[in-house]
Structure 1
C-alpha cells in the first residue's frame, strides 16, 4: 500500500472496525433450533456453493453474499492496520491516530501534546514511512464504504 492508500484506510478505520464487529455479532452461531447449511451441497448459485465450502453459518437470509465479501475486505484491512500500527513507537502511533482517525490537524496535535509542530511533523512522516514499509506486501485494498446519506426517507 502506498501512503495515500494508507491514509485513506486510516480515515475509515473506525467505520471498518465497527462494521466488522456488527457483522460478526449478526451472524448466528449454529445451535439447537438454528439452521446451519454448511454441510449441505450448494445449489447452482455460486454464493451458496461458496458459503457451503467455507462453512458460513446460516443467518436466515439477513445478509447477502456481497455483505460477506465486504466483511472479508473490511476484516482484512482492520487486521492489517492494527498489525502495522504495532511497528510504530507510542508517540508515532498517537500522532497517526490523532491525525487520521480523529481528524485533528498537526498544529492541534502539537498544541495538545505541548510539543513543537516540527516534532509532530517529523513523527508523522516517520510513522507514515514505517506504515508504508509494514504494509508493502499486503494484498488488502482500501474498501469503499457506500454513502447512504443521500437516501431519502419518505414518510407518508
Structure 2
C-alpha cells in the first residue's frame, strides 16, 4: 500500500462535493473511520475493507470468479473486457433482490441497493453462478476463449 490510517480528515471530507463516495480501504484502520465520516456527512456513500462495516470491498468478490471464468473457457489470457464484465456482473447483482440464504448468513432482515449496500456480500451464492459466465462470455467475444463456456459443477448446480 499507498495508504494509511486516518489520512482523510473530517475537514477534508466536509470540503468534498455533494454525495461523495469514499473508499477507505486501509486495513485494519481505514483512512477515515465510518463513524466519523457519517457524523460529518449524511449524504456519504462509504466502503471499507472491513467486514464489520457495510460495503466491504474484498477481493473475494472478483478474483476467484475471474480465474474460474477464465479456466472454464480455457481463455489464453485475461483481457480488460473480462475484468469489466466481472465488475458489471457485480453491479447487476447488487441491484437485485438479495436471497433469503444471504440475509440469514449475515443475520439481517433486508439488504437493498443503496448507500449501505453497493456490493454483493462475499457469501452470496449467485456470485459463482453469474460472474464466471459473464467473464467467459467476454473472453469469447474478445477471441481469447479456446472452448465454449461450460460451468464447472458446483454444489449449487451439480
Aligning the two structures, in what range does the TM-score lie when normalised by the shorter sequence?
Answer: under 0.3
* Higher relative contact order, structure no. (Cα contacts within 8 Å, ≥ 6 residues apart): 1
Question: By percentage of residues, which structure has more strand?
Answer: 2
- Larger radius of gyration, structure 1 or 2? 1
Higher helix share: 1
Give the TM-score normalised by the residue count of structure 1: 0.27
